[in-house]
Copies of this chain bind each other. A is one copy, B any other.
Amino acid sequence: MSKINELQKFLQNENVDATFITTPDNVFYVSGFRSEPHERLLGVMIFKDAEPFVICPLMEVPDLKATGWEFEAVGYEDTDDSWEILNAAVQKRGVALDKIAIEKSHLTVERLERMKQLYSKAEFVRLDDQLNKMRNIKSEDELAKLRKAAELADRAVEIGCREIAEGKTEMEILMAIEFEMKKLGAEKMAFDTMVLSGPKTASPHGTPGDRKIQKGDFVLFDLGVSYEGYCSDITRTVAFGEPSEAQRKIYETVRAAEQAAIDLVRPGVKARELDAAARNVITDAGYGEYFTHRLGHGIGISVHEFPSITGTNEMPLEEGMVFTIEPGIYHPEITGVRIEDDVAVTADGVEVLSKFPKELQIIQPK
């Protein structure tokens, strides 16, 4: 069943007259049309009992049609009032809008106020949970793209490891990775690539810079690739030269924590149980205070999407969910280490999409 049909059925079941979807990621999800409209209006309008349409800037109509969109394409020019154009397309369908579902976690207050002017008697209800429920469970086609995105990220870490050398800067390594990835046909990186070295690994959200790699550093790669609209997000931390005992202990603790969470993944287990499994390993080893973030996040069209793998999320896992598992220890005096995989829940367990080895890789200075 197409996403449009699935949403139409939802509207019929809930007796909602229409839904208007405007988040670019959700527009792509339901229509296959990928566009970043900035402040311009882009949306998919789906009706309980009428033909859906996409509204977008006139100059993007050919791109929309090229994706195979089979319903109406409503274009407007920069000088038009796009909401009037939208309303005309609604009026043409002759349906009353008494109940409209919107993405409350994305639609702006200003746009809702505009819709309330046009449909002053309408009640506005949440579409978010329905869309999240759909996006939460990946189809075989989506999984195939996520696998490919993860494979490209594995390659990116491989390239990063190859580039590490005494005196090279984080930025030089980062550029070499991105350059090679584009050559390999990656559309783009899924987010700003992170290459951190030495003490900078102890910042979970650091910024790569001109620091030069030195013997004894750990080097952390956190990166992802976008492939046909789907993202990967993986982290590996490697050693440059022989690591100290203290570094090794932190590394092995994170690795054990990550594996403990992976080993638990199967339908029915609660998200919070994964977080607890990893966190317990780290706490028992005495590093609890240095693991300062949640265990993971869903991944798909967006780098961060549902489900959130936190210590309080009671949601049971289901087949088809894809998310990251990424425990870390950020010790300001010794080193930071994070290991992150993208995993999919299968019928009876887990598929780990990212394959780059997790035994501590020691890169020998030449």
Footprint of B on A, CB under 8 Å?
35, 38-39, 57-60, 62-63, 77-79, 102, 104-110, 112-113, 124, 128, 171, 174-175, 178-179, 182-183, 188, 192, 203-205, 292-294, 303-304, 310-312
Contacts and interface: CB of A to CB of B under 8 A. Distances in A.
Contact of A205 (B59, B77, B109, B204): B59
A107 B107 CA distance: 8
A109 B188 CA distance: 31
A107 B109 contact: yes
Nearest to A303: B38
Nearest to A38: B304
Contacts of A77: 292
Nearest to A126: B110
Given A79-B311, A311-B79, A59 B292 contact: yes
Contacts of A182: 171, 174-175
A168 to B, nearest CB: 13
Given A175-B179, A182-B171, A60 B105 contact: no
Nearest to A272: B79
Contacts of A112: 109
A153 to B, nearest CB: 18
A183 B175 contact: yes
B106 A108 contact: yes
Contacts of A303: 38
B292 A58 contact: yes
B104 A107 contact: no
Contacts of A310: 78-79
A181 to B, nearest CB: 9
A178 B62 CA distance: 29
